[in-house]
Structure 1
Amino acid sequence: MTSTSAKSVLILGATGSIGFDVALEFLRNGYTVYGLTRTEDNAKLLLKNEIIPVVGAVSDFEKWVPIAEKVNVVIEALADYSNLDTAQSVLNKFKEIKSTKNPQLVPIYTSGALVYGTSDKVVDENTPYNVSNNPFLTVRVGLENQYREIGGIVIQPSFVFGKKGSGSSLYYEGVVKNTDGNFEIFGEEGQWRAIVHITDLARLYYLAATKTDASRGQVFLGSAYYYKTADIVRSIAKESKKDVKAIKFIPPTPTNPMSYLLYVSNATSHQKSTNLLGWVPTQPSLIDAPTRYYNSWINNNSN
């Protein structure tokens, strides 16, 4: 194995919608970056960007645990909704590593702003969670608590926009595929959607990892703006030259577990991230620079 440097990070999910830009942020700041990825094609992408690939599934502990035993930071950016046990097994490995091999390891867990549930007020890290028996969110809350107990850090991104789009991609796809101007969105009338640019979010991970006196055992909301979901859809539709005849909000459906996440409506504050870490989002919002983000999304997602 290549020896690690004094400043090194391992990212689990390094070619994902969050992990890749986080990897680049650490790289820009002088870190040796290791990235776990599933395929050889993705490994080539990492190599092109000066990231050291580790090819394998997250369950292939023999592939990445030896690296985690030597780096400064490990970031869990897996976003695995298909197997609710995966994230727990990774955390158990972090606990083992910290207790036996690398007690100074800083583990960072990627949760999400939706754990606060629907609220008619702006939420922050002191707002009580409301997971409404959603299995995805319930598991996340339990993991957050365990990470904090071992001195880890929790980042709660809101819907990510910019480049490929991540969370915001759902709205771009819905607009581009729409043919009649009638849009259906999971949620209720007046729904709020908090958003953050991927570049700003990546910076938050870096600041949390390097300002550990302030960040260990803490939770940080990664959110820059919030808008009415209907306004986001209208902005994207205008860029794609689509008429909006009607926007209908619909309830979640049992056959679509993700619909229960999309149904949540909340607006979030990043004041804690600013106060403790000095994090200040710099990128214009999705609505303030619609052409830039629409063109980027189209070109990133074209076949």
Structure 2
Amino acid sequence: MRVLVLGASGFIGLPIAQAFVRAGHIVYGLTRSQQKAKQLAAEEIIPVIGETSNPSAWLTMVATLDVIIDAAAQKYRPAHAPKLTYIYTSGTWVHGENRKDIQEQRVIRNPVLNGIVIRPALLYGRSGSLLAPLYALIHCDDLAEMYLLASEKSAIAAGQIFDAANDFTENADDVLHKLLEVSGAKGPFEYIEPSNCESVRTVLLYEIALSTTSLLRPYLARSLLGWQP
């Protein structure tokens, strides 16, 4: 397949692009700088310099592609071309009160695309993870493998929404008890209440998000794609 990854030098995009390269596909990677372009080339990813918000750098490529990760421009493809696979990156936090996310529905119901939505949980791995000192639910390379499988099986994955998370649940209390045990720190541990003054409202929302219980089982990805983190 011929694949274009938008944001190919990013924390999610780079492992995805590398996974497609390892699988033997021709991979183009959109990035914003010449320096990042050299890094992509070293990974056998063909660099394309430009902005996702200004598609002039890559729009002419659409007619020759099979898969675009993160964006698509179907009207530029010839009428006889097979459906372009478009994978939209969402997130597991859209569960709950936001189950009718408009963008997700636009993707999976698009009549001219093989539209697929992937919802990554909190990521970890390598040095780029915001949550590396804390905890997380899916390694960036496992996530990349899901994008690869969804693309290669897009004929049956089209119109589906896949959760990308480990298929087991880690309890925060259990993790903290183990942390005390292995570190030798004096217990017991205590939870700090989220900040609640108006001046740190953004911090409050961030803390609440990180402390929200997340129970995810990636059954659809396992059964339909054969994916196992």
What's the TM-score, normalizing by structure 1? 0.63
What's 1:222 paired with? Answer: 164
1:265 aligned to 194, 213, 222, which one? 213
Does residue 162 (structure 1) correspond to residue 121 (structure 2)? The answer is: no
Does residue 14 (structure 1) correspond to residue 27 (structure 2)? The answer is: no
Give the 3-state SS of the residue equivalent to 1:155 in structure 2: strand
Change (3 A) 1:59 1:229: same
- 2:150–2:157 contact (8 Å) kept in structure 1: yes
Displacement of 1:223 after TM fit? 0.8
Does residue 114 (structure 1) correspond to residue 93 (structure 2)? The answer is: yes
Distance 1:233 1:64 in 2: 47
What's 1:4 paired with? Answer: none
Does residue 254 (structure 1) correspond to residue 196 (structure 2)? The answer is: no
Q: Residues 57-96 of structure 1 correspond to what in structure 2 (within 5 A)? A: 57-76=51-70, 90=71, 94-96=73-75
Structure 1, residues 17-44: CA drift from partner, whole Å, max 9, x if none? 1111111110011111111111222111
- 1:10–1:34 contact (8 Å) kept in structure 2: yes
Q: Which runs of 5+ in 1 are unaligned?
A: 1-6, 77-89, 117-128, 132-136, 173-192, 282-303
What's the TM-score, normalizing by structure 2? 0.82
Does residue 146 (structure 1) correspond to residue 146 (structure 2)? The answer is: no
Change (3 A) 1:74 1:232: farther
1:227 alignment partner AA: E
Structure 1, residues 243-293: CA drift from partner, whole Å, max 9, x if none? 375342433752335445324321100111111111122xxxxxxxxxxxx
- 1:108–1:155 contact (8 Å) kept in structure 2: yes
- 1:94–1:107 contact (8 Å) kept in structure 2: no
Give the 3-state SS of the residue equivalent to 1:227 in structure 2: coil
Aligned length: 219
Distance 1:63 1:73 in 2: 17
Give the 3-state SS of the residue equivalent to 2:40 in structure 1: helix
Q: Which moved more, 1:253-262 or 1:45-54?
A: 253-262
Structure 1, residues 128-151: CA drift from partner, whole Å, max 9, x if none? x423xxxxx98xx22111110123
Distance 1:23 1:216 in 2: 20
Change (3 A) 1:278 1:236: same
2:20 aligned to 26, 36, 43, which one? 26
Q: Residues 238-249 of structure 1 correspond to what in structure 2 (within 5 A)? A: 243=185, 245=187, 246-249=189-192
- Please tell me the root mean square deviation across aligned C-alpha atoms, in Å: 2.9
Distance 1:96 1:41 in 2: 32
What's 2:141 paired with? Answer: 199
